[in-house]
């Protein structure tokens, strides 16, 4: 097998793949332009979620209730 022919085939395959990827990239860029500024913002800067004190208290009470039930079941199984 001729190594140059194999290299040429690989080159042709990679060029075809590059062309396909460039076409996909152009489509993505067009979609981003169509969406405007919303597509250009940085996704890494997510706004921190803030929970109210009442919500934290409610979650805390529910967790304590779950653990109390768990401990009650565990005590019943061991007894």
Q: What is the pLDDT of residues 18-46, one digit of tens each?
A: 999 999 999 988 888 888 755 555 556 67
Q: CA 79 to CA 76: how far, in whole Å?
A: 5
Residue with tokens 């768990």: 70
User: What are the sequence ranges of the domains in the chain?
Assistant: 3-36+51-78
In the prediction, which pLDDT does 1 show? 63
Tokens of 6: 């194999």
d(C-alpha 2, C-alpha 34), whole Å: 49
Is the pTM value of this prediction over 0.85? no
Distances (CA, A) of 61 to 12, 66, 67, 70: 65, 9, 10, 14
Give the residue carrying structure tokens 């990239």.
25
């Amino acid at each position: 097998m001729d190594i140059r022919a194999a290299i040429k085939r690989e080159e042709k395959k990679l060029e075809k793949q590059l062309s396909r990827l460039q076409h996909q990239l152009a489509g993505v860029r067009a979609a981003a332009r169509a969406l405007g500024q919303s597509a250009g913002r940085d996704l890494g800067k997510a706004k921190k979620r803030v929970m109210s004190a009442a919500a934290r208290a409610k979650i805390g009470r529910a967790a304590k209730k779950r653990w109390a039930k768990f401990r009650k079941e565990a005590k019943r199984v061991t007894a």
